[in-house]
Structure 1
Amino acid sequence: MAAMSLRLPEDIELRLTQEAEREGASRSDLARRAIVEFLARKERARFMSELVAEAQAGYADPALRKELLALAESGADFGLEDLLDAERSAGTRPEEKWWR
């Protein structure tokens, strides 16, 4: 595992130390977890930005938009009715869940 040196303002270092003591973990472990979470958030945000850009590009293309709308309309009944039927047969009342 690679080592890294990091300078922190005193107030952040104190908070990190206190949190590590509360959790019974090392400061390095908390820092590693924070970095992993940060990187995962950045990767998700980047993926979503790319997805939105692709969707916007596709929506701007009239031929592709028409094809996608037709596809959505043809499959609109699939899944939802099956899900409702399954919930009804299981004794649940899906109508009550949807507005909560």
Structure 2
Amino acid sequence: MAALSIRLPVELERKLMEEVTRTGQPRSQFIREALETLLAQRQRERLDAQLRDAVTALASDPQARQEALELADDFLPAENEALEGHWWR
């Protein structure tokens, strides 16, 4: 494992120590998990932004929009059939 040295504001370090004391978790483990969580969240946000951009581009293209509507119409009978007889209907 690589070692990393960081400087924290006093208040942030105090909150960190409160949390690791409360949970009994080693400080380095807590920081690793927090960093993994933040990095995963940022990756999801980037992917969401890319998806929004792609949807916006497709929605603004009349031909792509028409193709999507036609595909949805093609699948509608199969979707309705799959829903028949289930408890929520």
Q: TM-score, normalised by structure 1?
A: 0.79
Q: Which shows bigger deviation, 70-79 or 27-36?
A: 70-79
Pairing 1:1-100 to 2, within 5 Å after superposition: 1-87=1-87, 94=88
Pairs aligned (count):
89
C-alpha distance after superposition, 1:26-63 (max 9, x if no partner): 11111111110100110001001101111111111111
SS of the residue corresponding to residue 6 of structure 2 reads coil
Specify the alignment match of 1:90 in structure 2: none
**How far apart are 1:23 and its partner, in Å?**
1.1
RMSD of equivalent CA atoms: 1.6
Distance in 2 (alpha carbons) for counterparts of 1:84 and 1:5:
59
Distance in 2 (alpha carbons) for counterparts of 1:16 and 1:53:
37
Distance in 1 (alpha carbons) for counterparts of 2:77 and 2:55:
23
Q: Which shows bigger deviation, 40-49 or 21-30?
A: 21-30
Specify every segment of 5 or more residues in structure 2 that has no aligned partner in the other structure, as ranges.
Answer: none
Specify every segment of 5 or more residues in structure 1 that has no aligned partner in the other structure, as ranges.
Answer: 88-93, 96-100
Q: Percent identity?
A: 35
**How far apart are 1:81 and its partner, in Å?**
4.6
